[in-house]
Amino acid sequence: MYKFANRMGEVSSSAVREIFKAMADPEMISFGGGSPANESFPIDEIKGITDKLLSENGHQILQYGITEGWKPLKEAYLKHIVHPKGIKGTVENVIVTTGASQGIHLLADAFLEPGDVVLVESPTFLGVFSTFNKYFVKSVPVEMDEHGLVMEDLEAKIKEHNPKMIYTIPTFQNPTGRTLPLERRKKVAELASQFNVIVLEDDPYCDLRYSGEVLPAIKTFDQTGHVVLLNSFAKIISPGLRVGTVLAEAEIIQKLTVAKQGADTHTATLTQAICAEFLEQGLLPDHLKKINAMYAEKLHTMITSIEKYFPEGTKFTKPEGGLFIWVELPGEPDVLALFERATSESKVAFVPGIHFCKNPDDGIKHLRLNFSSSTPEKIEEGIKKLGELFTKDFEER
């Protein structure tokens, strides 16, 4: 009989992975994933960049690279993404990761030990539960309101639990789409410094803004090096490139480098070089304008369709960007049962809210809807079907 490591008993199959099985049906209208639209990928530009890179520097790009990352990418990331946002840093403050999710794993390697506490938003990105469970770490939820993390509860939980880390998605949060206001961002940085807590600022959606005012990253207000910023090229160029970044104090980057050496040696140099060239050719601003206009239309369609078709008393977020809407159904719905009916009867998929909550009761009436992967026509069709199902269920209760 196999004897697996004890930590594997703490790692369960991702809820999204199970939902993807339902989404494999070609007739399914999927609001369940978090993928960017296929039509958002700059295929022609990447073709041209790849040919240029391999023609001019193919032998170096196809060889092993250094663990910290392709230096031209780190320089381009700082020049085109970090410094324009008012964030300080040099190449010594950056490591390139195989997707932003690897950044979370590396930081867990560097900082977390069994029994440590991590404070997480409630609800939060469900992938972090598997990561933290693997390290036998206790995830403690912090209250959110319509503007994100509640500072009073955050400070109270810090004092009560003495956490090693705070995990937050402050801009267009997954799953709610909420954005943390300016003063709360400042407060998070202050609390991190005051109580010696690492803030893991996961910020993959910040450039997907369709309306409203751009807000500075929490890292902008970091005076003591306690805030670690994660960015990703997945949503703004392509997830298949598997390129992310971590920006932190040089001492932290050194520890992450050691952890990454034992994980995958280095992120693929070719995909790093593609991202670097994309930035250096000045392609990102126009690309963002294009995809943001497309996503804005999809978001508007989903919001107006929810207002039209969902049962009276439904509450939902109206984000200014990102990829998600968080819905609270009226009454006492059984959202897990509704998911089964939605996928089998209506051929529409979503993610039940309980999967995003450490305390399942926090998301028992909720569901997450993604609008990026469907056309406006399919969005209205799918929301209408869900609305009919939810309304019928509400009237029968």
- Give per-residue pLDDT as tens, 79-117: 999 999 999 999 999 999 999 999 999 999 999 999 999
Tokens of 327: 């819905």
Beta-carbon contacts of residue 96 (< 8 Å; ≥ 6 apart): 68, 69, 70, 73, 74, 243, 244, 245, 266, 267, 272
Task: Give 315's strand partners.
Answer: 328
Last residue of a domain, one of 282, 310, 340: 282
Mean of pLDDT values over 282-302: 98
Confidence of residue 33 (pLDDT cuts 50, 70, 90): confident
Given a cut of 90, whether residue 77 has pLDDT beyond it is yes
Q: Are residues 263 and 294 located together in one domain of the fold?
A: no
Q: Are residues 210 and 140 located together in one domain of the fold?
A: yes
pLDDT of 288 reads 98
Q: Are residues 198 and 81 located together in one domain of the fold?
A: yes
**SS3 labels along the chain:** CCCCCHHHHHCCCCHHHHHHHHHCCCCCEECCCCCCCHHHCCHHHHHHHHHHHHHHHHHHHCCCCCCCCCHHHHHHHHHHHHHHHCCCCCHHHEEEECCHHHHHHHHHHHHCCCCCEEEEECCCCCHHHHHHHHCCCEEEEECEECCEECHHHHHHHHHHHCCCEEEECCCCCCCCCCCCCHHHHHHHHHHHHHHCCEEEEECCCCCCECCCCCCCCHHHHCCCCCEEEEEECCCCCCHHHCCEEEECCHHHHHHHHHHHHCCCCCCCHHHHHHHHHHHHCCCHHHHHHHHHHHHHHHHHHHHHHHHHHCCCCCEECCCCECCEEEEECCCCCCHHHHHHHHHHHHCEECEEHHHHCCCHHHHCCEEEEECCCCCHHHHHHHHHHHHHHHHHHHHHC
Look up the CATH number of the domain holding residue 34: 3.90.1150.10
Is residue 2 situated within a structural domain? no
Q: Are residues 12 and 67 located together in one domain of the fold?
A: no
Is residue 175 situated within a structural domain? yes
Last residue of a domain, one of 230, 259, 282: 282
Mean pLDDT lowest among 6-15, 22-31, 294-303: 6-15
Is residue 176 situated within a structural domain? yes
pLDDT of 13 reads 55
Confidence of residue 6 (pLDDT cuts 50, 70, 90): confident
Is residue 256 situated within a structural domain? yes
Is residue 48 situated within a structural domain? yes
Q: Are residues 120 and 176 located together in one domain of the fold?
A: yes
Q: Are residues 227 and 351 located together in one domain of the fold?
A: no
Q: Are residues 107 and 238 located together in one domain of the fold?
A: yes
Last residue of a domain, one of 282, 309, 333: 282
Encode pLDDT of 265-274 as tens digits.
999 999 999 9
Q: How many domains, in total, are found in the chain?
A: 2
Q: Are residues 250 and 337 located together in one domain of the fold?
A: no
Encode pLDDT of 352-367 as tens digits.
999 999 988 889 999 9
Question: d(Cα 230, Cα 243) in Å, to the nearest integer?
Answer: 11
> pLDDT above 90 covers what percent of the chain?
89
Mean of pLDDT values over 296-319: 98
Q: Are residues 246 and 291 located together in one domain of the fold?
A: no
Q: Are residues 169 and 105 located together in one domain of the fold?
A: yes
Is residue 316 situated within a structural domain? yes
Confidence of residue 4 (pLDDT cuts 50, 70, 90): confident
Is residue 234 situated within a structural domain? yes
pTM of the model: 0.95
Given a cut of 70, whether residue 22 has pLDDT beyond it is no
Is the pLDDT higher at 170 or at 20? 170
Q: Are residues 274 and 295 located together in one domain of the fold?
A: no
Encode pLDDT of 166-187 as tens digits.
999 999 999 999 999 999 999 9
Q: Which domain holds residue 330?
A: 7-41+286-396
Is residue 77 situated within a structural domain? yes
Tokens of 92: 């010594």
Encode pLDDT of 188-222 as tens digits.
999 999 999 999 999 999 999 999 999 999 999 99
Look up the CATH number of the domain holding residue 147: 3.40.640.10
Q: Are residues 36 and 49 located together in one domain of the fold?
A: no
Please provide the average confidence, as pLDDT, over all residues in the chain.
95
